[in-house]
Chain A
Amino acid sequence: MVACLAENNVGIVGEEEAAMGRAQHWIRIERYWDEGEYPEARAQFVPVMCQQCGNAPCEPVCPVFASVHSEDGLNSQVYNRCIGTRYCAHNCPYKARVFNFFAPQFPSPLEQQLNPDVTVRSVGIMEKCTFCVQRIRRVREQARVEDRPIADGEIMPACVQTCPPGALVFGDAGDPDSQVSRLMASRRGIRLLEAFNTEPSVVYLKREGGLDV
Chain B
Amino acid sequence: MSERGGPGVKGKGDGPESTGTGSTPEKAALAFEAAGVKTMPALTEDDLRALDRDLDARVFGAMQSISIRYLLLVGFLGSVVAFGAFAFGWQIYKGIGVAGINRPVFWGFYIASFVFWIGISHAGTLVSAILRVLKVEWRMPLTRAAEAMTLFALMIGGLFPIIHLGRNWRFYWMIPVPNERGLWPNFRSALMWDLLAILTYITASSLFLLLPLIPDLATARDRTRGLRRRIYGLLSFGWRGTQQQWHRLHVAMRVFTIVVIPIAVSVHTIVSWDFGMTLVEGWRSTVFGPYFVIGAIYSGMAALVTVLVLVRRSLQLEDYVTLRHFDRLGKVLLAVSVIWFYMFWAGFLTDWYGGSTVAKLIQHEHLVGHSAVLFWTMMVVNVLVPFLFLWFRRVRTSMTAMLVISLLVNVGMWIERFLIVTSPGINSLSYNWGSYTPQWPEIAIATATFAAFALLYVLFSKALPLISLWEVKEGWRVDRWRREGLVEAESDVPSLTTGATAVTGATATATTAAATAGSRGGAT
Contact = CB atoms under 8 A, between A and B. Distances in A.
Q: Which 7 A-B pairs have the closest CB atoms?
A: A84-B166, A124-B166, A101-B97, A21-B102, A30-B431, A102-B95, A86-B106
Contacts of A61: 188-191, 277-278
B108 to A, nearest CB: 10
A83 to B, nearest CB: 4
A92 to B, nearest CB: 8
Nearest to A195: B428
B174 A102 contact: no
B102 A22 contact: yes
A185 interface: no
A63 B174 contact: yes
B95 A124 contact: yes
A17 B429 contact: no
Contacts of B431: 28, 30-32, 48
B459 interface: no
A83 B166 contact: yes
A91 interface: yes
Interface string A117-139: 00000111110000000000000
Interface in B57-112: 94-97, 100-107
Contact of A102 (B97, B104, B165, B429): B97
A20 to B, nearest CB: 5
B280 interface: yes
Interface residues of B, number: 45
Contacts of A85: 161, 164-166, 191
Contact of A124 (B167, B173, B191): B167
A57 interface: yes
A123 B166 contact: yes
B278 A90 contact: yes
Contact of A93 (B173, B190, B279, B430): B279
Interface string B136-173: 00000000000000000000000001001111101101
Measured as residues with beta carbon below 8 angstroms from the partner, the interface class of chain A is 35 or more
A94 B429 contact: yes
B135 to A, nearest CB: 41
23 contacts: A22-B97, A60-B188, A61-B188, A61-B277, A63-B186, A63-B192, A63-B195, A82-B166, A83-B166, A83-B170, A87-B274, A90-B106, A91-B278, A93-B427, A95-B427, A100-B95, A101-B95, A101-B96, A123-B95, A123-B167, A124-B95, A124-B96, A193-B429
Contacts of A106: none
Nearest to A22: B102
Given A123-B95, A196-B428, 12 more contacts: A20-B100, A22-B97, A22-B102, A22-B103, A48-B431, A60-B189, A65-B183, A87-B189, A87-B274, A91-B279, A100-B166, A125-B166
B97 A17 contact: yes
Contact of A193 (B97, B186, B428, B434): B428
* B interface, over-half SS: loop
B173 to A, nearest CB: 5
Contacts of B386: none
Interface of B: 94-97, 100-107, 161, 164-168, 170-171, 173-174, 181, 183, 185-186, 188-192, 195, 274, 277-280, 424, 427-432, 434
A110 interface: no
B283 to A, nearest CB: 8
Contact of B428 (A28, A89, A93): A93
A93 B429 CA distance: 8
A168 interface: no
Nearest to B431: A30
A124 B280 CA distance: 22
Interface centre among A17, A84, A125, A126 (most CB of B within 10 A): A84
B429 A95 contact: yes
B174 A64 contact: yes
A23 B431 CA distance: 13
A89 B102 CA distance: 11
Nearest to B281: A93
Interface string A1-34: 0000000000000000100111100001011100
Contacts of A17: 97
A213 to B, nearest CB: 16
Contacts of A196: 279, 428
B280 to A, nearest CB: 6
A90 B281 CA distance: 10
A63 B96 contact: no
A103 interface: yes
Contact of A64 (B106, B168, B183, B434): B183
Given A95-B103, A124-B165, A90 B280 contact: yes
A196 B356 CA distance: 12
A83 B173 contact: yes
A82 B185 contact: no
Given A17-B97, A83-B167, A65 B186 contact: yes
Contacts of B174: 63-64, 83
Contacts of A100: 95, 166
Given A63-B174, A63-B192, A83-B170, A21 B103 contact: yes
